[in-house]
Amino acid sequence: MDEKLKIILPNMVEETTEKHKQVSYQKTCKRCGQCCRAASPLLLKTDYSLFISGHLTDTNTYTLRLGEPILNRLEQDVYFMPFEAIKIEDENNACHFYAGSGECLIYEDRPTQCQTYECWNNAPHQESLEEIRLTRQDIFGDIDPIIKVITKHDEVCSYETLIDLIQKLKEGDESSLTQIQQMIDYDIATREFLNENYGISPKGLHLVLGKPLYKKIELFGLQVIENEDGSLQIQIKETGNEDIS
Ligand code: SF4
Ligand code: SF4
């Protein structure tokens, strides 16, 4: 497994605490909640039934798109998604369903990764995550035109293209800024279209389209300015992170 995927797995327990040194010989989960506080699970195809049962919805999950940058707060480093994946919301890294004191609000129906994760077992995973992960195609594949909107949005707002444009911008090609602005505008317009025509809430759009593009660009040393008419304008930050693209 790609080491960089550690950032999106529930087994991303970076800090070796005294508590974990003590539980390293355990054979069962003690429900201490340390893994739930470190990250939310990445959803697998086997978790689709949790959307059917209503445990998972478009407001408590979100999509990480191909090539999307993710900030690892512990390492202060940025990773890029090697494929699309869907996760449970994770405010400040802790899983949305973590209620504190080791309690999971959906314990009996928790996702596959949570059921199979063994913090005491360092054996490598045998299955390829890429093959068994849940995707938006699995969820929206039969819903026309949502899947067409997702496909077009991925094409126009590709992170690969965005990173190329940012690289050109850093090399002095200022026309790239216009193209980045157009990409951000398309992302916003697509969200408004789905909200107005299909009633999908801004939070629900985090699953349909991933998190808004303008919120990600600060990781690339750009910043967003809101104009008086409410439109967003992209500028180069005076002191940006120069090493992440
Ligand atoms: S699997 Fe998670 S909740 Fe269970 S003991 Fe390990 S860190 Fe704690
Ligand atoms: S779903 Fe439950 S068990 Fe899984 S990470 Fe969230 S709180 Fe922990």
Digit-coded pLDDT (tens) for 186-207 = 999 999 999 999 999 999 999 9
Secondary structure percentages of the chain, helix, strand, coil, to 5: 40, 15, 45
**Distance separating alpha carbons of residues 89 and 138, to the nearest angstrom:** 19
Q: Which ligand is nearest to the CA of 9?
A: 2
Which residue minimizes the CA distance to atom 2 of ligand 2? Answer: 104
Query: What mean pLDDT comes out for the span 230-242?
Result: 68
User: What's the whole-number mean pLDDT along residues 152-167?
Assistant: 95
- Measured from the Cα of 30, ligand 1's closest atom is 5
Q: Name residues whose C-beta falls within 8 Å of residue 107's C-beta, 6 or more positions apart in sequence.
A: none
- pLDDT(8) > 70: no
Distance CA 148, CA 28 (A): 44
pLDDT at residue 5 tops 60:
no
Calculate mean pLDDT across residues 217-241.
Answer: 77
Among protein residues, the one whose CA lies closest to atom 8 of ligand 1: 32
CA–CA separation, 82 vs 76, rounded Å?
Answer: 19
Which ligand has its closest atom nearest to the C-alpha of 94? 2
Of the two residues 245 and 111, the one the predictor is more confident about is 111
Tokens (6 digits) for 174: 């200022």
Q: What is the mean pLDDT of residues 213-238?
A: 82
> How far is ligand 2, taken at its centre, from the CA of residue 40, in Å?
7
Token representation of residue 154: 């991925």
23 lines ligand 2 (CB under 6 A): no
Percent of the chain with pLDDT over 70: 84
Cα 28 from chain centre: 29
Q: pLDDT tens digits for 16-70?
A: 444 454 545 677 899 999 999 999 999 999 999 999 999 999 999 999 999 999 8
Q: pLDDT averaged over the chain?
A: 85
What average pLDDT does this structure show over 141-154?
Answer: 94
99 phi, psi to nearest 5 deg? -105, 10
Residue 245, ligand 2, Cβ within 6 A = no
| Residue 171 pLDDT | 87
Going by CA atoms, what residue is nearest to atom 2 of ligand 1? 35
Lining residues, ligand 1, CB within 6 Å? 23, 29-35, 117, 119
How confident is the model over 123-147, as a mean pLDDT? Answer: 88
**Residue 18 and residue 51 in contact, taking contact as beta carbons nearer than 8 Å:** no
Task: Write down the domain spans for the chain.
Answer: 3-137, 141-236
Is the pLDDT at 125 greater than 80? The verdict is no
Pocket mutation for ligand 2, best pick of 56, 90, 114 (most atoms within 8 Å of C-beta): 114
Which of 79-83, 152-156, 168-172 ranks highest by mean pLDDT?
Answer: 152-156
Q: Which atom of ligand 2 is nearest to the CA of 107?
A: 2
Residue 47 CB neighbour total at 10 angstroms: 25
60: left (phi over 0), alpha (psi -120 to 50) or beta: alpha
